[in-house]
Amino acid sequence: MESEVASVIDVAAVAVTDNPALEVSQPVAVLNVKAELAVFDPVKLALAELATVIGSTQYDINTGAGEKVARELRGQCVTLRTRTEALYKTRNAPLLEAQRQMRAVKAEIEAGIAPHEAKLDKAITDKEAAKEVERQARLAAEAARVDALRARITAVAALPAKAALLDSSGILDLIGPLQLLDASSFEEFEDEFEGLAIDIESQLCQMMQAAAGREQQVKDLAAREAKLQAQREEDARIAVLRQQIADIKAWPLKALSMNAARTANYLDDLLLTSLAVFSGELHQEAIDARAEAINQLNGMVEVKSLAEAEAERQVEAAQVAADERARADAEAHQRQLDAEAASARAGRLFKEQQDAFDAERQEALAQQEAERKAIAQDRAKLVKENKDAQDERDRVAAEQAEQVRLDAQAVIDAAAAIKAASSPLPVVEPVVPTPAPWEEKRVSERPDDLAIAKLVAAHYNTPIETAISWLSTFNAFTVRGVIAARLIEEMV
């Protein structure tokens, strides 16, 4: 097979490589380039002369003559350019044809070579690619082996960083496997691993000891913190209990604005309050606080009950007094009606008597003329006396009514002051009654309220509170009505 391949290579070499006809050592002289370019020499000379003329000619383009000169020179340039182009085309056409034919032959030869070259090139390229794949596989396997060894070494080197996140037992779990690693398994990195393993193991042992020390410190701190927390909780519990004791002590203050019934219910709530949460000296302190609060509340209940009973009694007394005033007003009104009726009867009787008297007088007018005059005089005198007596009675009644009103108002003011004081007055011993203003003689000065109350209490042999209650219902209008009724009865 190899001899056949060699024979094919020799034949190909004779046909191509060793063929003298295919040697190209020097460029082929197809034409005389200098001779062909010499045809442009007259054009170059003409260009030089034209450039000299243009450079030396002076003209003003803004004038008609100057513009004509510029146009003439431009025409010479156009003529020289067109002649150069025609000369180029004339001399270049044969060259372009030769080049076209040579490119066609070249393309034909290359088209014949291309299939063979492509086939051979593909076979050689495929072979080289297969070899490269094998080489890359070997390199990859070697790199993977080295990377694996390096990764193991890197993992060992990273053990301290990993141990930094572990406790002492976790670090101990890292030291054991490290000691069991076989150095020979690291192949060409055996020496590097052995040095690294010694250093890493030493670091891990130190870290384990340090971690154990920190763990012990943490345990000690946790124990102290637990103890402090327990103390804080106990202090908080005691503070809460002391606040509860303070609340028990303040219990009576909350009942100040309550009535007796609510205060009693409040006291029952305190009695039902459990003291089981208290212990030790706090238990006794809570018992004492509750006992003191109970005593205070009991006193408050008693005082409020008495005050409320007194208030109710005073309300009842006021109602009784009001009823008495109403009754007295009704009686006075009735007496006034009776007095008016009596006055009317007296008027009718007087009229009847007058009529009878007139009749008798008419009958005995002649006989009693002298007697009539005497009677008339006596009657006029009587009327005047009656009028003077009535005026005096009215004046005395008015003075008595005003005095009664003033005395009653004083008594009412005294009763109001006594009510406001909310404490019972001492019982006063009876005293000798003072004569009334309309009896015997008028006193020089008005007595004070307390003297009036004492006088009424002594006269009726009753407590002074009852006398004050009576006086508080005093009605001057009723008294004036009674006095007026009596005066009318006396007149009748």
What pLDDT, on the 0 to 100 scale, is given for residue 201?
A: 85
What pLDDT, on the 0 to 100 scale, is given for residue 158?
A: 85
Tell me what the mean pLDDT of segment 434-450 comes to.
56
Return the number of other C-beta atoms located less than 10 Å from residue 473's C-beta.
21
pLDDT digits (tens, 9 = 90+) for 204-263: 898 888 888 888 888 888 888 898 888 888 778 788 878 878 877 777 877 777 887 887
What pLDDT, on the 0 to 100 scale, is given for residue 10?
A: 53
Q: How far is residue 83 CA from its own chain's centroid?
A: 101
Write the CA distances from 355 to 234, 348, 351, 365, 371, integer angstroms: 115, 10, 6, 14, 18
Q: Is the dihedral of CA 88, 90, 91, 93 positive or negative?
A: positive
In this predicted structure, the answer to whether residue 92 has a pLDDT above a threshold of 70 is: yes
What pLDDT, on the 0 to 100 scale, is given for residue 3?
A: 54
Tell me what the mean pLDDT of segment 62-85 comes to.
90
Number of residues assigned to the chain: 492
Place of tokens 């009653």: 408
- Cβ atoms 207, 164 nearer than 8 A: yes
Residue 201 CB-density burial (10 A; 0-12 exposed, 13-18 middle, 19+ buried): middle
Tell me what the mean pLDDT of segment 428-444 comes to.
46
Q: Which two tokens stand for residue 137?
A: 């596989």
In this predicted structure, the answer to whether residue 436 has a pLDDT above a threshold of 80 is: no
Domain ranges of the chain: 31-157, 160-245, 392-491
What pLDDT, on the 0 to 100 scale, is given for residue 135?
A: 92
In this predicted structure, the answer to whether residue 43 has a pLDDT above a threshold of 70 is: yes
Grade residue 133 by pLDDT with cuts at 50, 70 and 90. very high
Question: Whole-angstrom distance between the N-terminal and C-terminal Cα of the chain?
Answer: 187
Alpha-carbon distance 281 to 241, whole Å? 11
- Cβ atoms 88, 39 nearer than 8 A: no
In this predicted structure, the answer to whether residue 199 has a pLDDT above a threshold of 50 is: yes
Alpha-carbon distance 217 to 69, whole Å? 113
Tell me what the mean pLDDT of segment 197-208 comes to.
87
What pLDDT, on the 0 to 100 scale, is given for residue 485?
A: 56
What pLDDT, on the 0 to 100 scale, is given for residue 454?
A: 80
Long-range pairs of 87-90 with CB within 8 A, sequence gap ≥ 24 = 87/39, 87/40, 87/43
What pLDDT, on the 0 to 100 scale, is given for residue 330?
A: 81
Grade residue 429 by pLDDT with cuts at 50, 70 and 90. very low
Instruction: Assign 3-state DSSP to the chain and report helix, strand, coil percentages, each to 5.
Output: 85, 0, 15
What pLDDT, on the 0 to 100 scale, is given for residue 136?
A: 92
pLDDT digits (tens, 9 = 90+) for 257-283: 788 788 788 777 777 777 777 777 777
pLDDT digits (tens, 9 = 90+) for 333-375: 887 787 677 667 766 776 776 776 667 767 766 776 666 777 6
pLDDT digits (tens, 9 = 90+) for 388-428: 877 777 787 677 667 766 765 765 676 566 556 544 444 44
- Cβ atoms 214, 206 nearer than 8 A: no
Alpha-carbon distance 422 to 419, whole Å? 5
- Cβ atoms 84, 42 nearer than 8 A: no
Grade residue 486 by pLDDT with cuts at 50, 70 and 90. low
Task: Provide the greatest CA pair distance for the chain.
Answer: 222
